[in-house]
Amino acid sequence: MFFNRQNELKRLEERYKEKKAQLLIVYGRRRVGKTELLKEFARDKRNLYFLADLSSAKEQLQEMTERVRVLTQDTSLQDNPFANWRALFAYLHRLAQREPLKFYEAGAFFEAFSFEDRIRAYGILGGMPAYLLQFDPHAALTQNLSNTFLQTDSFLNNEARFLLLEELKEPRNYFSILKAIAAGKNRTNDIMLTSGLDRGVVVKYLDVLQNLRIVKREIPVTEPQPEKSRKGIYLIQDRYLKFWFRFIMPNQSYIEEDRQDFLLKQRILPFLDQYLGDVFEHVCMEFLKRWNRAGKLPFEIDRMGRYWKGETEIDIVAFDAKREHALAAERKWSTKKSEPMCSTA
């Protein structure tokens, strides 16, 4: 039960309504009610509460990573815990400044699109509102691609380059690594062979890209110690950048030569549905998370992701905290009328 402290609550509310980043320090003697004041203030707000204790810095960072994962529903944090506090604060800064919209939210930009074309648009643009606004919701998907990506002066053609030049030093090496990953080279050795970079350079740059949440390291969801697993693969986490490195960067010469029609029909559209497979998988997981929060599943999901071992692969596996219940799902994206499909067992 909470009593009084109305003046303090009022001051906190006033600062909160200013809608800008601020650091407020609440101090006072032991047992005066600092913790209860903050809990009462945050009660009806999306918040992250973390109590620092006497455990090691590593243990506290792991606990903080888990709390951020639960709050954001960012499954990449299962396999990529923050390496240091700087990486954590960089992530929170990016999250506060430009958290991408999820598929369900991004779909509001394209209400005239079919469900399938909404997934295609999301797979191409990701969830950044500035990118979603580039597509004309009343134009065909192919026309949007041509207008926004396949012109030398178009925003989405140039944005990826400007973004990475601003974020990264030595962009040439980063571009080589990202291009290799976009082409399906997901393991360290494959990235080395494709990019021509030494192992030490690749490992260093991959670490930077993970801290920026441009790349994620994915581990089979059943791994008991993800941070120590050797089964990790690297994927481009940002949908827009993934599309750009897969289809736009390698084909810039066609854009420069005004061969947009050839590029679209021969280099992009024949491979687009194959590219969208993991996008649909992501959308299926997003809906499972929504149902999980709404209590519409037979058990509460604690972890969810992909599973693979040898020749065996399961698109989506989820289980509860005690691992007493599990869900397995197959996703299938194709151009057949009966698809797309996400089935569970």
Residue 221 inside a domain? The answer is no
Residue 294 is assigned to a structural domain of this protein: yes
Residue 197 belongs to some domain of the structure: no
User: Taking a C-beta distance cutoff of 8 angstroms, is the pair 210, 62 a contact?
Assistant: no
Q: What tokens appear for 178 in the block?
A: 């990202």
Residues 118/135, Cβ–Cβ less than 8 Å: no
CA atoms within 13 A on the CB side of 34: 10
Task: Note whether 195 and 176 are within 8 A (CB).
Answer: yes
Q: Are 124 and 145 in contact (CB under 8 A)?
A: yes
pLDDT tier for residue 164 given thresholds of 50, 70 and 90: confident
Residues 234-264: pLDDT tens digits?
999 999 999 999 999 999 999 999 999 999 9
Asked if residue 295 is part of any domain, the answer here is yes
Torsion of CA 127, 131, 133, 139, to 10 degrees: -100
| SS3 of residue 27 by DSSP | coil
201-241 pLDDT tens trace: 999 999 889 888 899 999 999 988 877 888 889 999 999 99
d(CA 65, CA 71) in angstroms, rounded, equals 10
pLDDT at residue number 298: 92
pLDDT digits (tens, 9 = 90+) for 107-132: 888 888 999 999 999 999 998 877 88
Tell me the residue ranges of DSSP E strands in the chain.
215-218, 233-236, 303-309, 312-319, 326-332, 341-344
Q: Is residue 310 part of a domain?
A: yes
Residue 1: which pLDDT band, with cuts at 50, 70 and 90? very low
Q: How many separate domains does the chain show? A: 1
pLDDT for 151 equals 94
C-alpha to C-alpha distances, 258 to 124, 145, 151, 168, 270, nearest whole angstrom: 21, 14, 8, 30, 20
Which residue segment(s) compose the domain that 301 sits in?
Answer: 282-344
289 within some domain:
yes
Angle CA 281–286–291, to nearest 5: 125
Residue 319 lies in a domain: yes
At 135, phi and psi to the nearest 5? -85, 135
Structure confidence at residue 296 (pLDDT): 93
Tens of pLDDT, residue by residue over 71-104, are 877 766 776 677 778 777 766 766 665 567 889 8
Which of the pair, 296 or 32, is modelled with greater confidence?
296
Share the mean pLDDT of the chain. 86
For 259-310, the pLDDT digits (tens) are 999 999 999 999 999 999 999 999 999 999 999 999 999 999 999 999 998 8
